[in-house]
A and B are shown apart, each in its own frame.
Chain A
Amino acid sequence: MYRAALTGPDDFDGWREAARRFAAGGVPAAEIDWQVEGGEASLLAFDAPAPPEQGGAFSVPRAFLELAESAILHRDPERFALLYALLVRVRDMPALMEDRADPLLRRVEMLAKAVRRDMHKMRAFVRFREVEDEGAPRFVAWFEPDHHIVRANAGFFVRRFASMRWSILTPELSIHWDGETLSESPGATRADAPQGDPIEDVWKRYYASIFNPARLKQRAMLSEMPRKYWRNLPEAALIPDLVAGAQAREAAMIATPPKPHARPGNAAAAWSALRDEAMACTRCPLYRDATQTVFGEGPLDAPLMLIGEQPGDQEDLAGRPFVGPAGQLLDRALDEAEVDRARLYVTNAVKHFKHERRGKRRIHQTPETPEIQACRWWLDQELDLLQPRIIVALGATAARALLGKAVTISRTRGAPIALSGGAEGWVTVHPSFLLRVPDEARKAEERKRFVKELREIGARVKALA
């Protein structure tokens, strides 16, 4: 058993020197006890024989030295022996360095990788605090690295902060820069470092403001900034509150919908661009058999928006919503209910005519969920642009597009629904339903009810204006 003495846990030159001698002398890895000065004494008490005489010189690829320089900084006590074992193999077969699947090489690479990550994290997470020192500012940081990297990392801080005076204190070793030279002192404790800096509060406010609560992704944060670093990062103290705040905001938002925002000043230009875009819509297959897209129409500052199901045969040909029989019925009902037709925006949940050909006639078909979903995009853009105070869904398809779920008309009609955008939603029947009721007495009754609901909605519009 031989003994190799190293001056410190990161003594690469000492290891290189000893390893070269042992390897030249043909000493196997298991026969060397690597001892770091000031480290734990070996459990094996023995009288080490004199190291073998210097044998023939040999060389190893540059890649090995680069790898070893990093790996030796790892805190794993086996690193010296692993590197020695790898050295002996690489000496005999230099191409081994290319065999990235070799288990030993892989293991040493993992050590080097951990060290490089630790060095990178130190560069990232050191936080200086400014103190007054001999009449001039000095920047002092406290950091706790995982591996023996402080000395190897000093160069980075010198290059970056050459004109400042700074110190980095760590449990094992402290380094100091006075603007000219780098010096070392023994390890320190957290209490030796300054406890605060007025700029830290400004930094924390920045950290809290740059965070986007709509995109909470804690796992991504934790993988790059694990909790073990948090106690030395002033901004990390805010994280629990920011996360809780983001969740609370979401809950509050569901409870109390926000006020609608101001309509952009260029709404007219935006609406006609939107309409032009919709004219070429192929978001679902319905465009194939329809004549044209039938987009909404009406004043853009209308407080009331009516949403129908889809254009019918006449609307499809005319290119305008609610011009067919159902539209005419709607116009009369609005008139009776004293709702101002000129202050109304009308549109449809689905903007192409879905139909089936029977003989010479095109028979209306109810649009299905994928079509409603595809077309909802346009409706959302219209709602976003117009910001109506009240939105009325005529019939089940419109209610589904507006509320995002299937509802029963009979159970939802007659009462306002708070919508997430801050508007008020109402659901009632589609006028075409009134055309289809076979029994005349019931038809009149249903029509009366429809007009009554429109009248209530009209009153709400006036109340909210």
Chain B
Amino acid sequence: MAALSVPQKLEILADAAKYDASCASSGTKKRDSASGRKGGLGSTEGMGICHAYAPDGRCISLLKILLTNSCIFDCHYCINRRSSDVRRARFTVQEVVDLTLNFYRRNYIEGLFLSSGIIRSSDYTMEQLVQVARTLREEHDFRGYIHLKTIPDADPDLSHQAGLYADRLSINVELPTAQGLQRLAPEKNASRIEGAMAGMRSAMEDMGDARRKYRNAPRFAPAGQSTQMIVGADGADDRAIIRRARSLYDRHALRRVYYSAFSPIPSPSSVLPLKRPPLLREHRLYQSDWMMRFYGFSADDLEAATDPDSGCLPLDIDPKLAWALRHRGMFPVDVNRAPREALLRVPGLGVKAVDRILASRRLRRLRLDDVARLTTSITKLRPFLIASDWRPVHLTDRIDLKRSLGPAPSQLELFA
């Protein structure tokens, strides 16, 4: 077989990387190429930039590729598993570095997200990943964003080096349950994965302490660590997933948990999965994740929003509305008097809208049309709010409240 060209390798290794949902390039320290040593390239300014969007609606902010899609593991959910007959390719360190710089100079990307199949050994693979990051940072003074996927079984020293070059590190827990991991990824081990995450957290905290004492102490993964869970590959219901996510956030100080809807991959990507991935379920989990991180909902609160039989969040309405419909006694909430926490629980009110309400009501009593100006849709809010000129009376108690707020019913497809 003829050797593959770089664009051919890029096609194979980008295709192999697209199942990783993470694309964030935000939340790292600010730096740029105009200050400090001359000759550097790139900057990071807090807010991430999506340089393009693919027709799957996902943001493209980083060059997301694998170093190689060869793998000695045989994880069932993964297109790159050993037994898959997908075409294999492998980049050299220099090829990844050149691609990153060429794309960056043309403003196509914000940086690099590099992952890899395991070749030879975990340590060898991790060394190669670190080598790419080191070359970018040290030889080319690259100041853009770097996200490295860390291999849980690799030597902690290597992960430590990775943290010195990368903005973000991540290790995928892969599946919400340990049994699921044991079954679908027998070579992986849930406790080793969590051990590596805990090690990463303590390295971040140590470096944080060092920086408080010595201003020039090196930074360690300033954008923190994240992880990804595959939804729908094992039997875990949404309750189990939410609990797992909560405990991961708590124990490992994660910035993000990504959820990736699983679809069995029949053969290499030339054909679609047989079943459409459960995208709506994935979306509801992201909503519940947001509710935990920004709206003050606990895992118990979210459990109350799940369906008691299936243990899953409803698909037809969002989890915040589902929670509110089960806790009608907490509503309506008075926009002029309710505390921030109570306003955050109103379905349809976002964090920004709540902060604007709090700022405005210090000056005067708010009417319903004031609230309308602060939010996108007032119709869905009305049953849950009291304003100076509005009181929903029976609306909150109506039995058909869900129907009036949920999506319009549509006829089932006869030939679906």
A contact set with B: CB distance below 8 Å: 95-96, 98-103, 106, 120, 123-130, 139, 141, 156, 158-164, 197, 199-203, 205-221, 224-225, 233, 235, 239, 242-243, 246, 249-250, 252-253, 258-266, 269-270, 273-274, 276-277, 281, 283, 377, 384-385, 420-422
Contacts and interface: CB of A to CB of B under 8 A. Distances in A.
Please tell me the size bucket of the interface on B. 35 or more
A209 B33 contact: no
A203 B235 CA distance: 39
B267 A261 contact: yes
A162 B40 contact: yes
Nearest to B355: A100
A200 B52 CA distance: 14
A422 B264 CA distance: 13
Main secondary structure of the interface of B (DSSP, over half): loop
A264 B71 CA distance: 13
Main secondary structure of the interface of A (DSSP, over half): helix
Interface string B357-398: 101101110100011011000000000000000000000000
A210 B18 contact: yes
A162 B53 contact: no
Contacts of A239: 55
A158 B34 contact: yes
B11 interface: yes
Given A250-B272, A420-B274, A203 B103 contact: yes
B374 A212 contact: no
Given A101-B371, A163-B38, A266-B74, A127 B107 contact: yes
B329 interface: no
Contacts of B108: 127, 203
B414 to A, nearest CB: 12
B359 A221 contact: no
Interface string B327-358: 00000000000000000000000000000110
B83 interface: yes
Contact of B267 (A162, A209, A258, A420): A258
B284 interface: no
Contacts of B52: 124-125, 207, 225, 233, 235
Given A211-B56, A220-B57, 8 more contacts: A95-B362, A98-B359, A101-B360, A125-B52, A197-B106, A206-B14, A209-B14, A249-B271
B403 interface: no
Interface in B1-58: 6-7, 10-12, 14-15, 17-19, 32-35, 38-43, 45, 47, 49-58
B90 interface: no
10 nearest A-B pairs in the assembled complex, by CB-CB distance: A220-B57, A217-B57, A273-B183, A159-B32, A101-B370, A100-B356, A209-B14, A162-B33, A162-B34, A211-B54
Q: Which of A164, A239, A270, A385 has the most CB of B within 10 A?
A: A270
Contact of A210 (B54, B183, B371): B54
Nearest to B140: A163
Contact of A211 (B6, B55, B270, B277): B55
Interface string B171-189: 0000000011011101100
A55 B41 CA distance: 49
Contacts of B32: 159-160, 162
